[in-house]
Amino acid sequence: MDRYFGNMEGFQAFGSAHLIPVIFYTILTCIWIFLAKKWDYQKQYKSALYFSFVLAGLVLFWMFFKMWNNQFDPAEDFPFHLCNILTLVLPFALYYKSRWFFGILYFWVLVGTMQAILTPELKEPFPHFIYFRYWTVHCGLVMLIFYGLLVFKWKVYWKDIRNAIIGANVYVVFSFIANYLSGGNYFFTMHKPRTASLLDYLGPWPWYLFTGQIIMVLLFIGAYLPLHFNYRKYQKTNQTI
């Protein structure tokens, strides 16, 4: 059982244990979207909703597993990292078909979650539960973003950048409170992650919290530009027709 649920280290970034899940979930995303485009709306909707339940279940399972075994550590085991919180909010957002939340989620996932995929803050190797949870949750969030864009045809607007920035700063305040009470480092507001990341180039603590704001805005704008040009191309095509 220790192999799957115990304290283990050994994950190597950019090795096969890193590349294989990324490739696997990329292929799975393409297949899922290809099939979903042939379904009626109810089947499309249920597919996304049930998948969001799976992501939330993976996050909650680990927290309750640690509690059940008297191993729960408030500094590490609350689902307070941003991607984990998103999995808990997603089922409600999908249930209420919240385009507003999708607009925020688009930027948080394509900028924040993608960073976690490229430079994973992970120590547990294959086949540990945390290893599977990490890749399923992070890649799953990206899958749902592309599903929303390509299957549901949800739109993202310039104003969503503002909402995403405000929401991110609200979460920073929340993380400071959570970290103060738990002694943790949720959202990496107390110190940088142990592994290499973009934060390494943004100065020491607490300056990277401020320089990170500038990089965040630039990356949000960069994430929006492909959609902006695609919308403009679509409008010109319709006007021509």
**What is the Cα–Cα distance from 164 to 101, expressed in whole angstroms?**
9
Task: Give pLDDT tens digits for 167-186.
Answer: 999 999 999 999 999 999 99
In whole numbers, what is the pLDDT of the chain averaged over residues?
92
Residue 2 CA, distance from chain mean position: 27
Cα–Cα separations (whole angstroms), residue 109 to 53, 203, 226: 18, 23, 15
Q: What is the pLDDT of residue 232?
A: 77
pTM assigned to the model: 0.93
pLDDT at 128 over 60: yes
Residue 37 CA, distance from chain mean position: 24
